[in-house]
Structure 1
Amino acid sequence: MIQIALATGEQLTIMQHFLQASHLPLAGLERDLWRAWLAWKDETPIACAGLERYGKRALLRSVAVAPTWRQQGIGSQLVRTVVQEAQALGIQEIYLLTEGAEAFFKRLGFQPIARENVPAALHASAEWNGACPQTATVMVLRCG
């Protein structure tokens, strides 16, 4: 059975390992991360996800699954858990930037949005400011 739990500060290096292995940006991770989650199988971390908070909005970032655990629904389970917990904490919209995972996020309810329609507060994110290229697709999930 897969367990999903909030990550501790000491577990940030586990997230960094997943992100590097998945070729995802590390920029702003330590500065901007509000909450982070790890998925575990027994005592082995197998996936991660994080949120940056900007008022009632958040940026979903750093969703990565260990290669041997991909295509088993773990990423979906993790993102659904993050969304539920974010909603419980008052987040009304969750945005993300992606290159190539649009279909995955669309299945989870995220919809593409034009870059110019993203609230200015999210422009403070390192992901918005160059960690993700301008060609990345922006998506949003409205929670309320």
Structure 2
Amino acid sequence: MKIRAAKSDDLGAIKALLAENDLPFSDVTADLLRDFLVAEDTDDVLVGSVGLEKFGRPALLRSLVVAQAARSDGLGTSLTAHSENLARALGISQLWLLTTSAADFFQRFGYVSVDRSSVPVELQASTQFAQLCPATAVCMMKSL
């Protein structure tokens, strides 16, 4: 697997992969992709993605997805590690996320569950927090 920076022509494949896995995709735009990473298999087929949505020093870790056929190979772990390294390089001090199904996965990386009310106001106003993710989603945070 090869992990690389997303390009604007990856947008359709990223949105399709998110849709196939019942993850929000309506707010994923070409502009947002500048801080996204993608994973390609040996045939250059996109099989994973993860993104950062920056709000100053905090950011949302979002759109982590791995195609069914590429699971159980550690790709989710690799994408998460790469996104955290990118966040550090960008000067991000805190990563926040919402998840309905992967809280245990993120806990292994040191993310802790927090009350949504503790999220910085600018993140609470994001489309992810305000509209796309259900109120039942677990909110998690990690300081870098």
TM over 0.5: yes
- Corresponding residue of 1:41: 41
CA contact (8 A) 1:7 1:38 kept: yes
Alignment of 1:77-88 (within 5 A): 77-88=78-89
Structure 2-normalised TM-score? 0.94
Unaligned segments of structure 2, at least 5 residues? none
Q: Within 2, Cα distance between the matches of 1:48 and 1:12?
A: 10
- Corresponding residue of 1:125: 126
Q: Within 1, Cα distance between the matches of 2:118 and 2:125?
A: 15
Deviation at 1:124, TM superposition (A): 2.4
Equivalent position amino acid for 1:22 in 2: N
| Closer, same or farther: CA 82–73 of 1 in aligned 2, 3 Å | same
Q: Within 2, Cα distance between the matches of 1:7 and 1:18?
A: 14
> Percent same amino acid among aligned pairs?
34
CA contact (8 A) 2:61 2:95 kept: yes
- Corresponding residue of 2:19: 20
Structure 1-normalised TM-score? 0.94
Deviations for 1:51-86, whole angstroms, at most 9, x for unmatched residues? Answer: 110000100111110001112210010110010111
Q: Within 2, Cα distance between the matches of 1:46 and 1:127?
A: 22
Deviations for 1:32-65, whole angstroms, at most 9, x for unmatched residues? Answer: 7251110112212110111110000100111110
Secondary structure of the corresponding residue to residue 110 of structure 2: coil
Moved over 3 A (4+): none
CA contact (8 A) 2:11 2:30 kept: no
Question: Is residue 134 of structure 1 aligned with residue 126 of structure 2?
Answer: no
Deviation at 1:128, TM superposition (A): 0.5
Unaligned segments of structure 1, at least 5 residues? none
Deviation at 1:27, TM superposition (A): 2.9
Alignment of 1:1-144 (within 5 A): 2-30=1-29, 33=32, 34-42=34-42, 43-143=44-144
Secondary structure of the corresponding residue to residue 106 of structure 2: helix
Secondary structure of the corresponding residue to residue 4 of structure 1: strand
Across the aligned residues of Structure 1 and Structure 2, the Cα RMSD in angstroms comes to 1.3
